């Protein structure tokens, strides 16, 4: 299928984004909080971060087959929709920093990129 090169590159890029985003608070919580605001429940931040790393590794390591890339797309879209929705809801409720609106835009971009990859001729 000619869509595979586009989807394979997208899986690697989105996977790397999720791995790096997850590693940040795990490796340096202080700088993460400087950008995103102080956290009350650091254990929850670390839990979400670990899940982001796991999801990113699955995407990054996806087999370049129709089934492998479909799995990477499902993980990517599910992760992006979840994170983006949480960003919007809790910024709106003034529970998290407005900086998370930047993440919401990025997450929407990943969803759109995955949607476009389905239509791309390669």
3-state secondary structure of 35: helix
Q: Do residues 23 and 49 make contact, with C-beta atoms less than 8 angstroms apart? A: yes
pTM of the model as a whole: 0.93
3-state secondary structure of 61: coil
Q: Do residues 9 and 2 make contact, with C-beta atoms less than 8 angstroms apart? A: no
The angle that helices 100-119 and 66-92 make with each other, rounded to 10 degrees, is 150
Q: Say which DSSP state 94 is in.
A: T
pLDDT in tens, 27-79: 999 999 999 999 999 999 999 999 999 999 999 999 999 999 999 999 999 99
């Amino acid at each position: 299928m000619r869509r595979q090169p586009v989807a394979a590159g997208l899986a690697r890029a989105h996977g790397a984004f999720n791995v790096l985003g997850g590693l940040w608070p795990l490796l340096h919580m202080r700088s993460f909080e400087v950008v995103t605001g102080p956290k009350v429940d650091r254990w929850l931040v670390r839990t979400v971060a670990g899940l982001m790393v796991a999801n990113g590794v699955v995407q990054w390591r996806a087999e370049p087959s129709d089934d492998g890339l479909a799995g990477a797309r499902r993980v990517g879209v599910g992760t992006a929709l979840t994170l983006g929705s949480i960003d919007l809801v809790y910024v709106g409720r003034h529970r998290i920093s407005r900086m998370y609106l930047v993440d919401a835009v990025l997450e929407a971009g990943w969803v759109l990129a995955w949607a476009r990859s389905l239509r791309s001729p390669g």
